[in-house]
Amino acid sequence: MVKVPLVTAVTTVFSYGLIFAFGHLRDFFRFVFSAAGDGDGSPASSKGYAPICGGPEDFYARRFIRRIQDCFWRPIASKPDAWFDVVERYSNDNNKTLIRTTKTSKCLNLGSYNYLGFAAADEYCTPRVLESLKKYSASTCSVRVDGGNTKLHVELEELVARFVGKPAAIIFGMGYVTNSAIIPALIEKGGLIISDSLNHNSIVNGARGSGASVQVFQHNNPAHLEEVLRKQIAGGQPRRNRPWKKIIVIVEGIYSMEGELCKLPEIIAVCKKYKAYLYLDEAHSIGAVGKTGRGVCELLGVEPANVDIMMGTFTKSFGSCGGYIAASKEIIDHLKHICPAHIYATSMSPPAVQLVISAIKVILGEDGSNRGAKKLFQIRENSNFFRSQLQKMGFQVLGDNDSPVMPIMLYNPAKIPAFSRECLRQHVAVVTVAFPATPLLLARARICISASHSREDLIKGLEVISKVGDLVGIKYLKHEKTTSVEELKKIQ
């Protein structure tokens, strides 16, 4: 649970209040003095149609996000390695439109979740990906059940099942869809989903689309999960009071905006006690944590057999695209017959499939080297070093040790663009996150560490973040020991 300092909370609420007040005032005068409207979500309509973009979301986008949109959607002109080229942009109309230039700026990449560095050129993976491109082309132009099922797809499914320790697996072309399309295929009306309060949006939308009843338990709180389970089992379905057809508890291995590890052993115990199925989203943990990269199950000493459905993506540690579900053969066969994402969506690109196959083989040491073990050691060392130094500097950093995701709390809306722009000016690219991806008052910068970062890269990033943190005023933990630039140079 994030503890917001009182003064920070008051000033943050006041800042958002000013933004919303002046935004509504501007909308009022635009409505009064512009009968036709300007076509960007105004209350007036020039042709008699109701505005297709409207409501509080549109207001928030126009009056807040647009002012700082240069901090988001930044185009890059190179692979997402430890350093990458960011395309420079400018605006002549107060950020309403951004114009790309031909100039690029080489920046330290602290935003991409390329945890093991496979998204860049790799001596084992890249030649095999190029070979698969020549053999299969960039797309199968078909769905899996028709002409889009290559032997690479079958090989990857077998390899994923072996890697995570489940009997079978099925792969999809997009990580987001893996959650949003699979959950409705597993449960329907009359079922109950109990979801962590900070689960990813793909899980939220999948749960909504299933038609099942949805209950939320306090983030990473097994005791509250048990309380919710006990209450729901005792009450049964609404109005009918019949027993639930099935109950699925959904959690994440590493929470993408918190950097926290799931309390998996305790949650498994609760699920077993009340005979509820457990669905584990390992998008940010598979390949990134655990001695051999097998995720939170390995890290926390949990047998994969104790997790009913394991989900993961190939977009993080494996440097590709797509996602997977690993479970019993019965569940996987069921999904192959009824899941729309498998039946109707174009199959995963063969070169992307080959990259995942090659990356997993490197992690397992099946490429004939120990590079996989070195990468896993490096990501763990880099993550723990960077986190500890940020904490010593006085930043409020969320998450647990070994997690490559480390959010730095910003809170105040004015500090979001200030931190992002100043870091970019000093050639460090960071990701800032605001509502709706986080609660309104809990804006943050999300740092993602990679095994491809050298110690010199990390110290460069720490030096810049420390300077910008002092300038912007986000070192909220003043009582902590601070690490000066001189001390960082000694470490280097």
SS3 80: coil
- State the pLDDT confidence band at 5, using cuts at 50, 70 and 90: confident
pLDDT at 318: 96
pLDDT at 488: 64
- State the pLDDT confidence band at 41, using cuts at 50, 70 and 90: very low
- State the pLDDT confidence band at 46, using cuts at 50, 70 and 90: low
Question: Which tens digits make up the pLDDT trace of 258-295?
Answer: 999 999 999 999 999 999 999 999 999 999 999 999 99
Whole-number Cα distances in Å, 244 to 190, 239, 271: 6, 12, 15
Give the whole-angstrom CA distance, residue 208 versus residue 201. Answer: 10
The mean pLDDT of the chain is: 92
Q: Which two tokens stand for residue 280?
A: 């584990």
- State the pLDDT confidence band at 492, using cuts at 50, 70 and 90: low
- What is the pTM (predicted TM-score) of this model? 0.92
Whole-number Cα distances in Å, 191 to 213, 277, 441: 6, 11, 34
Give the whole-angstrom CA distance, residue 212 versus residue 108. Answer: 44
116 vs 2, which has greater pLDDT?
116
pLDDT at 83: 97
Q: Which two tokens stand for residue 143?
A: 């769905």
For the domain made up of 124-364, the CATH class stated in words is: alpha beta
Question: Which tens digits make up the pLDDT trace of 373-399?
Answer: 999 999 999 999 999 999 999 999 999
Give the whole-angstrom CA distance, residue 452 versus residue 463. Answer: 19
Question: Which tens digits make up the pLDDT trace of 239-263?
Answer: 888 999 999 999 999 999 999 999 9
Q: Residue 490: pLDDT above 70?
A: no
Spans of all domains in the chain:
124-364
CB proximity list for 31: less than 8 A, separation 6 or greater = 42, 43, 44
- State the pLDDT confidence band at 440, using cuts at 50, 70 and 90: confident
